[in-house]
Structures are given as C-alpha cells and as structure tokens.
C-alpha cells in the first residue's frame, strides 16, 4: 500500500435504486498518470466523485495513502489532493491572479493568510508553470476556453498538493487546446513528480498520455495496466460496445474505426 | 475589471455625499442650524436649538444610517450565500419574519422588550429556513426562492398587519414597526441597533473570502476545502442577524438589500470584502436619503422610508428579474 496513492476497497454506491458499484476494489499507483476510461454510464464519473468526496459510498472505503478520505476534513483533503472539475464558473471581473490565489484558501487560518510569502510564491509558480504569467492581471472572462482551463489547473496547482485529479479536462476545448492541456499534464508529472488521475472521453488521448489506464464497464473494472499491455480490440468492444481496430504507432496502441 | 482608482473614487464620493446628506437631514424640519452652530453646540457650548435637534433628529438620522448599512450588507451576504442576485431580506420574507416576532413580543410580552432583537433574529431565521427548505429541489433555483419568499413574506406581513390593525393606536410601538416608521426613535434604540449591527458587520468581514469562493461551482468550492452547505447556512445566518436587528428597530425595509449591492457591484466589483465595506456607506446613504425625502416631500406629513424604498426598488427588481431570466435560462 506504500506506493499506492488511492486504494479503494469494497466500495458500493447506488443512486436511489440504481446500483453503480458493488464491492469495487482498485489501487492507483503514486507517481503515474492514470486515466479512467469507459462508456457513458460506466461509472467513471461516479468513481471520480467518490474519490473526491463529492459522493459518500454506501459501503467500503476510499483510502488516500492509507487514510480514509471519509474521515478527512475537506480542508485537509484540499492540501493533499487538488481537483479540477469539468464545469467551472467565475465572476466576470475576477482577475486570473486572484482566481489562482483562491487555491491558497485551504491554508488560511481564522479567515487570514497564514503565510503571505508562501502564498505569493505558489501563485507565481502556478502561473508560470501553466504559461499564464502574462495574463495575470487580466480578467478570467477575457480568456479563451483553452486559456481558461489552464487557469483552473493553475488554481489547483497553487494548492501545492502532489496529487491532481482532473474530470474530463479536454471536453469543451478544440483539438489544439486539448493537446495543450494533456502536454501540460504530462509535464506536471514528469517535471514536478505529480500523481495525476483523470477521466478522459477520447480513448486515443487516454492511451497516448497515460502511464496506466483503468477501463470500466457497468461499474466493474475490466482491465488495468499500461496501455500497450492491456489494450486490445476485445477489451474495447467490452468497454465501448463497438468494434474498433488497434494498431501500434511508435510502440503505443492507437485505435481506429474498423 | 474595476480599477483600484475607480474603487477609491467610489468610496470617497459616496462618503462625501453621505456627509453632505447628513447635514441636509439635520437641517430638514422646522429647526435649522448652520454647520458652525452645530459644531459649537455639540462640542463647545450648550445651544438650545442644537440640543433639541440632538435629542429628536440625531437618533433618527443615525438609526437610518446604521439600519441602511445593516440591511445592505445583509443583502450582499444573502446573495452570495444562495448565489442569487435577486435575494433581498425584505423580498424573501426574512424581514417580515423578524418584524412579526418583534411585534408579537411588543404586543404580548412587553417585559421581554429588551430581548426583542433576539426574538427578531429567531423570527428571521424561521422565515429563512422555511423559504430555503420549501424552495430546495436538488438545488436552489433563483426564481423559485423568490416565489416562495414572496409567499412567506405575504403570510407574515398579513398576520402582522392584522395585529397592527387590531391593536390600533393603543400600542403605537407595534404600529410603528408594522409601518417601518423611524419617527420617535431614541438614543437607546440607536445603541441597540449599533451594538448588534457592529457584531453582524464584524462577522460579515470574517466570511467575505468564503463568499468569494461560493461564487464558483459548488464542487470547485468544495475542492478548496469549503463545506458549501455549512457555509451557506453560516453566511445566511449572519445576513439574517443584520436584517433582523434592523427590522427590530426600524421595521421591514424591502429592496434596499437588493438595490445597494447591485449598484455596489457595478462600482467596486464583485470581491466581497470591498463589496461589504462599500455597501456599508452606500446603504447608510440610501436609507438616510429615503428617510429625508420621506420627511420633506409631503411635509408636514411623513412618508416612511420603506415606502420610498419600495417605489424606487420595485422597478430595479423588475429589471434585475428580466436579466436573471435570460442568464438562468428559465
């Protein structure tokens, strides 16, 4: 368990009568980029919300490095895990710098900044890492969709956690910004040693940018491992219920329509 | 974005306008003093005219200012807590809940008069929780909150009017609460209002950062360590405290908590720390203006500040409602 960032054991969850998970077990390794893939309704978003304390399991636990996340205070969780959700809104007049500064909220004590210098340093680092330093004073609403997504990632980075969770970070972006975001994710992993867990819709992006993929189908894990080891057309048929061809491009699997 | 210079200008201009309005208000009525005479009468030597104004007009002016500030800040907090730019303590029934409680105490338990603010707060909380729970359906639709709030407000106001009518002129303190009439207020009333108002304002300044974060999606706020539901209740409770204390002394004022934050956002932006501080000044200005106009426009008769606020605030509310419809897609 020592090098697992998330350990999920015996996890059950249902929406009213609709059972999503029953006794799910899963371990995600520290230091990797792991992507959850699956068809709509496979449970990947529900799993994401259970891992991020937005839903409570009806049975079983989600452990973060051995500690039950159900027992962690939201604020302590926010220091360990940064999350970028799919939908985000900000007041029109809020500047990039201020929004990124919100990422320091978990470190405030009694409504005041605990360490202004550290806050400043982390915000600067987050802005530079995401290439937003030149937009710092601009309002978030003046940015393009791709730049705005970087702002939300920068806010998460300012939290200073070693774990980053992303829910479909590329969904509303055109392809150029999609790749832009995914390259940033890889860089965060390789340069800063961040553990990344994300949900992606595009299977090729998942295969290309992940160290490990976890494939879900009807609330069960059907495969977990490095893309080149596990991805076959049988697996994809099981996951997406459609036949696809898998070819190898530069040693990585690539999926084509038949 | 609103520049720092513009923000500073808004603060200075409004503060100067408030000071000027204060002198106009002091000189509105049958007795008049010059600023020098006022200063001398207050701080240097006894002056008959100044002394009369001090006893009769000053409490009213200060009560209007503090009550206006408290109501405006209450509106800012309420709008942040339920993420609804249309929320106003008067419109969604908090003020009527608070004043009903105050009226009941005044009419039936005069011995408990000292605790009126506490009862008003309880009444305001009951109204708020009623509106909150009745309009909750997997989320808070801004328009449903308003509709339920108007209904709850009508109910409480109706009961209160019944008391007002049936107690007649024998219980003038009841009647003055029902009509939101600021005449005949004393320095004691002002002290009560100031004490609770100051507590509410200090609490408000402690939660401004949370208000900022609540403007984001609930999940995003949670990811930064904010327990969204708990904080909504906390911030609402402070808003209810501010609205209730003002209501307990002045009576229900509608639209002030809507109009002031709306103008404030245009002038100083959406950061809640600035918004709260600016709303203190602008709220004080607006209610004092409404009260002063009410005193002069039909002299020797008086129109209550609440009535003036409704005449001005109603159209603003309708404009806001039209804007909200387009942005919430309802």
CB contact under 8 A, A74 and B207: no
pLDDT band at residue A56 under the 50/70/90 scheme: very high
Q: What is the pLDDT of residue A252?
A: 85
Place of tokens 């409770």: B237
Comparing CB atoms, the residue among A54, A79, A105 nearest residue B213 is A105
The better pLDDT of the pair B76, B3 is held by B76
Q: What is the pLDDT of residue B318?
A: 85
CB contact under 8 A, A77 and B225: yes
The chain-wide mean pLDDT, for chain B, equals: 87
Task: Decide if pLDDT at B327 tops 80.
Answer: no
Interface check for B203 against chain A (CB to CB < 8 A): the answer is no
The better pLDDT of the pair A113, B96 is held by B96
- Cβ atoms within 10 Å, residue A19: 13
What do you get for the CA distance between the two ends of chain A, in Å? 41
CB contact under 8 A, A91 and B2: no
Comparing CB atoms, the residue among B225, B269, B271 nearest residue A75 is B225
Mutate to test the interface with A, among B80, B214, B225, B328 (most CBs of A within 10 A): B225
3-state SS track over B22-60: HHHHHCCCCCCCCHHHHHHHHHHCCCHHHHHHHHHHHHH
d(CA B299, CA B194): 29
- Cβ atoms within 10 Å, residue B271: 21
Q: How long is chain B?
A: 330
For B174-198, write each residue's pLDDT tens digit. 656 666 667 778 888 899 899 999 9
Helix (H) or strand (E) holding A129: helix A116-129
pLDDT band at residue B231 under the 50/70/90 scheme: very high
Helix axes B142-167, B305-328, angle to 10 degrees: 160
Give the CATH number of the domain where residue A55 resides: 3.40.50.300
Q: Which long-range contacts (CB under 8 A, 24 or more apart) does A166-169 make?
A: A166/A83, A166/A84, A166/A196, A166/A197, A166/A198, A166/A199, A167/A45, A167/A48, A167/A83, A167/A84, A167/A85, A167/A86, A167/A198, A167/A199, A168/A86, A168/A198, A168/A199, A168/A200, A168/A201, A169/A84, A169/A86, A169/A198, A169/A200
Strands of the sheet containing A18-29, edge to edge, are A18-29, A4-15, A59-64, A67-68
**Residue A240 and residue A39 in contact, taking contact as beta carbons nearer than 8 Å:** yes
**For chain B, which residues make up each domain, given as ranges?**
66-325
Contacts of A135 in chain B (CB under 8 A): none
Task: Decide if pLDDT at B291 tops 60.
Answer: yes
Mutate to test the interface with B, among A91, A168, A197 (most CBs of B within 10 A): A91
**Residue B227 and residue B213 in contact, taking contact as beta carbons nearer than 8 Å:** no
Domain that holds residue A50: 4-257
The better pLDDT of the pair A96, B38 is held by A96
**Residue A198 and residue A33 in contact, taking contact as beta carbons nearer than 8 Å:** yes
Interface check for B220 against chain A (CB to CB < 8 A): the answer is yes
Comparing CB atoms, the residue among B219, B225, B270 nearest residue A91 is B270
Q: What is the pLDDT of residue B108?
A: 84
Contacts of B215 in chain A (CB under 8 A): 89-91
Comparing CB atoms, the residue among A53, A89, A159 nearest residue B217 is A89
Contacts of B327 in chain A (CB under 8 A): none
Task: Decide if pLDDT at A154 tops 90.
Answer: yes
Place of tokens 């002030």: B256
CA A217 to chain centroid, in Å, comes to 19
Helix (H) or strand (E) holding A189: helix A175-192
Structure tokens, A103: 């990422």
What is the share, in percent, of chain B residues with pLDDT greater than 90?
Answer: 49
Contacts of A52 in chain B (CB under 8 A): 219, 223
Residue A27's closest CA among A53, A4, A3?
A: A4
Comparing CB atoms, the residue among B206, B212, B223 nearest residue A52 is B223
As a whole number, mean pLDDT of residues A195-201 equals: 95
Task: Decide if pLDDT at A1 tops 50.
Answer: no
Q: Chain B residue closest to A103 (CA)?
A: B224
Q: Chain B residue closest to A109 (CA)?
A: B206
CATH topology of domain B66-325: ABC transporter involved in vitamin B12 uptake, BtuC (1.10.3470)
Q: What is the pLDDT of residue B328?
A: 44
Interface check for B222 against chain A (CB to CB < 8 A): the answer is yes
Domain count for chain A: 1
Q: What is the pLDDT of residue B320?
A: 77
DSSP state of A113: -
CB contact under 8 A, A111 and B212: no
Q: What is the ipTM of this complex?
A: 0.90
Interface check for B139 against chain A (CB to CB < 8 A): the answer is no
Helix (H) or strand (E) holding A146: helix A145-158
């Amino acid at each position: 368990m020592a090098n697992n960032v998330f350990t999920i054991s015996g996890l059950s969850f249902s929406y009213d009568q609709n059972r999503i998970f029953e006794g799910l077990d899963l371990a995600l390794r520290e230091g990797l980029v792991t992507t959850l893939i699956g068809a709509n309704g496979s449970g990947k978003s529900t799993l994401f919300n259970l891992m991020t304390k937005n839903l409570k399991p009806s049975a079983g636990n989600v452990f973060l490095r051995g500690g039950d996340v159900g027992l962690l205070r939201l604020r302590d969780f926010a220091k360990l895990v940064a999350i970028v959700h799919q939908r985000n809104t900000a007041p029109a007049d809020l500047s990039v710098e201020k929004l990124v500064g919100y990422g320091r909220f978990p470190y405030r004590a009694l409504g005041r900044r605990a360490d202004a210098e550290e806050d400043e340093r982390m915000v600067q680092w987050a802005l530079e890492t995401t290439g937003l330093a030149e937009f710092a004073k601009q309002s978030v609403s003046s940015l393009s969709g791709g730049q705005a997504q970087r702002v939300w990632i920068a806010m998460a980075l300012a939290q200073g956690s070693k774990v980053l969770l992303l829910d479909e970070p590329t969904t509303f972006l055109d392809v150029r910004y999609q790749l832009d975001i995914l390259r940033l994710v890889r860089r965060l992993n390789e340069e800063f040693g961040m553990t990344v867990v994300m949900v992606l819709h595009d299977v090729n992006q998942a295969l290309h940018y992940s160290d490990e993929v976890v494939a879900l189908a009807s609330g069960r894990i059907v495969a977990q491992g490095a893309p080149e080891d596990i991805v076959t057309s049988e697996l994809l048929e099981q996951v997406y219920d459609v036949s696809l061809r898998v070819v190898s491009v530069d040693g990585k699997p690539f999926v084509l329509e038949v | 974005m609103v520049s720092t210079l513009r923000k500073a200008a808004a603060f200075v201009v409004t503060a100067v306008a408030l000071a000027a309005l204060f002198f106009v208000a002091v000189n509105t009525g049958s007795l008049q003093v010059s600023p020098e005479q006022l200063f001398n009468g207050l701080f240097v030597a006894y002056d008959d005219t100044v002394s009369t104004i001090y006893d009769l007009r000053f409490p009213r002016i200060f009560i209007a200012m503090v009550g206006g500030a408290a109501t405006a800040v209450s509106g800012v907090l309420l709008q942040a807590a339920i993420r609804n730019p249309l929320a106003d303590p008067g419109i969604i029934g908090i003020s009527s809940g608070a004043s009903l409680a105050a009226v009941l105490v005044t009419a039936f338990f005069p011995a408990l008069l000292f605790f009126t603010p506490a009862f008003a707060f309880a009444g305001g909380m009951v109204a708020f929780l009623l509106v909150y729970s009745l309009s909750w359906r997997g989320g808070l639709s801004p328009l449903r909150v308003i509709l339920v709030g108007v209904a709850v407000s009508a109910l409480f106001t109706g009961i209160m009017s019944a008391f007002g009518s049936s107690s007649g002129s024998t219980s003038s303190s009841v009647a003055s609460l029902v009509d939101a009439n600021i005449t005949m207020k004393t320095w004691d009333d002002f002290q009560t209002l100031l004490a609770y108002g100051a507590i509410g304002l200090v609490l408000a300044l402690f939660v401004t950062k949370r208000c900022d974060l609540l403007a984001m999606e609930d999940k995003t706020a949670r990811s930064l360590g904010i327990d969204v539901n708990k904080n909504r209740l906390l911030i609402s409770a402070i808003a209810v405290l501010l609205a209730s204390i003002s209501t307990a002394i002045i009576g229900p004022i509608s639209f002030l908590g809507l109009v002031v934050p709306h103008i404030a956002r245009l002038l100083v932006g959406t950061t809640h720390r600035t918004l709260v501080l600016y709303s203190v000044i602008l709220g004080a200005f607006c209610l004092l203006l409404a009260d002063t106009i009410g005193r002069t426009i039909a002299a020797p008769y008086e129109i209550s500040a609440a009535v003036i606020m409704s005449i001005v605030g109603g159209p603003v509310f309708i404009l806001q409602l039209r804007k909200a419809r387009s942005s919430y897609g309802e």
